[in-house]
Amino acid sequence: MTTPHPAPYSPMVRWVMAQQISWGSLTLDPFSGSGLLDGISTHIRAVCVEIEPEWATMVQGNALALPFADETFDAIATSPTFSNRMSDHHNARDDSVRHTYTHTIGHSLHPDNSGRMAWGKAYRDFHHRAWVEALRTLKEGGVFVLNISDHIRKGEVMPVVAWHLATLNALGMVTDRLISIPTRRQRHGANGALRVDHETVAVLRKGI
């Protein structure tokens, strides 16, 4: 990784996710960005896929077309983009800070990078395709550990967590448990005080 990623995991989120994965599991992160598995690979066999070369630490590839056979992995552990203002690609019209994927990497993101997608149909269509592809590579009985969060837009909470869970359930995944982790979040922008105060770690199983 030659360019720092703008959305690192909080230590508590990283620790909680690590506890859900059995020792020795061959584990995929199809959106490796800020390097979840790099930090917990002492007890698992990690395969990290990232589309942007500046952030790729193991495999530069596309989550929509993974280069792995069906039922390769014992586990998947990942955090897709939250579709919040981190996905903003515009320059500020005032003196507010822009802390985004695009501004950090210094160029336009790959067309198949969800970091360029705000909450909406394109985001949901993209992640439906990504989850179908990821689940293809997960063994029956395998665990799927997902870090995701809602966010606030125009004063309303966007149901990002509920959508991801409903989509994965519809694809045959069974929700085992949900873990709420308080996080400070980023406080940039005119609406910096309006933030969902926690992230969710969801643990799901395939085919049970």
166 with 139: CB under 8 angstroms?
no
Assigned CATH for 11-206: 3.40.50.150
The residue ranking higher by pLDDT, 142 or 34, is 142
With CA atoms as reference, report the closest residue to 59 among 137, 140, 173, 142. Answer: 137
Query: What is the arithmetic mean of pLDDT over 73-77?
Result: 97
Q: State residue 192's pLDDT score.
A: 52
**pLDDT grade, residue 187 (50/70/90)?**
very low
Specify the DSSP class assigned to residue 85: G
Quickly state the pLDDT bin for 86 (edges 50, 70, 90): very low
On whether the CB atoms of residues 101 and 80 are closer than 8 A, the answer is: no
Q: Higher confidence at residue 6 or residue 32? A: 32
Which band of pLDDT confidence, cut at 50, 70 and 90, is reported for residue 103?
low
pTM of the predicted structure, to 2 decimals: 0.79
* pLDDT value for 164: 96
Mean pLDDT of 104-114: 63
pLDDT at 88 over 50: no
Nearest alpha carbon to residue 147 among 41, 35, 52: 35
Q: What is the pLDDT of residues 142-169, one digit of tens each?
A: 999 999 988 777 778 888 999 999 999 9
Quote the CA–CA distance of 117 and 101 in Å, as a whole number.
11
| For the chain, domain boundaries | 11-206
Section 9-30 average pLDDT? 91
Q: What is the structure's pLDDT at 34?
A: 63
Judge whether residue 130 has pLDDT over 90. Answer: yes
